[in-house]
Amino acid sequence: MVFAAAGVSLAAVGRYGLSRRLRLTAQSWSWAALYLFLAVALSGLANDLIKLLVGRARPLVEARGLHPFSSGYDYQSFPSGHAAVGFGLAFAATALWPRWRWPLLAFACAVAASRVVLDVHHLGDVIGSALVASLTIRGLTGLFARRRLVFRLDSEGVPRRHLAPVPRWRRITPA
């Protein structure tokens, strides 16, 4: 929701902003906000689909084995939704701000560890979430890069960030 609201606000500034430079920057970053929104949403959606297909029992449930297509909470352990969203956000933000990769990864690992410690997910569930999120973000980044939105493919076919620089406010010095 935060990224969707940011994207809509930036798109409005991109359309009605006062200067051309401000409009271009806002348009460029509104796509980045959409990218982050889709990263979280698609990681969660892919995760929910796999949950339904696998139907693994949660740690506190006595029953073992898989129960595909069961809609109840007790049989939606693999993969973890919280961990998938955490890893999805961390991987997408890392693609935009590579310098922050370790703090972002630590944040995602903390989210994942909390699910295991609370005994609502197995360890394998949160590792599976990291796999789902990494493949989802790779696909989303490639999709954006091929359309030259937010990223561009370099000569080796690797997506690189391509956003308008944020304007820096000039310091007002007394005359």
Partner 1 sequence: MGTLGIPHCSDRMIGGSDWILLRFNEPRLLWASAILVAAVLLAVLLVDRPLAAALVGSIRGSIGLPSG
Q: Which residues of the chain form contacts with partner 1 (CB under 8 A)?
A: 59-60, 116-117, 119, 122-124, 127-128, 130-131, 134-135, 138-139, 142-143, 146, 153, 155-158
Residue closer to partner 1 (CB basis): 10 or 116: 116
Angstrom distance (rounded) from CA 48 to CA 21: 41
Residue closer to partner 1 (CB basis): 3 or 144: 144
- Cβ burial 22-53 (10 Å sphere, 16+ → b, else e): ebebbbbbbbbbbbbbbbbbbbbebbeebbee
> Residue 130 Cβ, how far from partner 1 at the closest point, in Å?
6
> Residue 37 Cβ, how far from partner 1 at the closest point, in Å?
18
> Residue 107 Cβ, how far from partner 1 at the closest point, in Å?
18
Residue closer to partner 1 (CB basis): 68 or 139: 139
Helix axis angle for 81-96 and 123-146, nearest 10°, is 40
> Residue 111 Cβ, how far from partner 1 at the closest point, in Å?
16
Angstrom distance (rounded) from CA 6 to CA 10: 6
| Angle made by CA atoms 134, 29, 86, in degrees to the nearest 5 | 30
Residue closer to partner 1 (CB basis): 14 or 79: 79
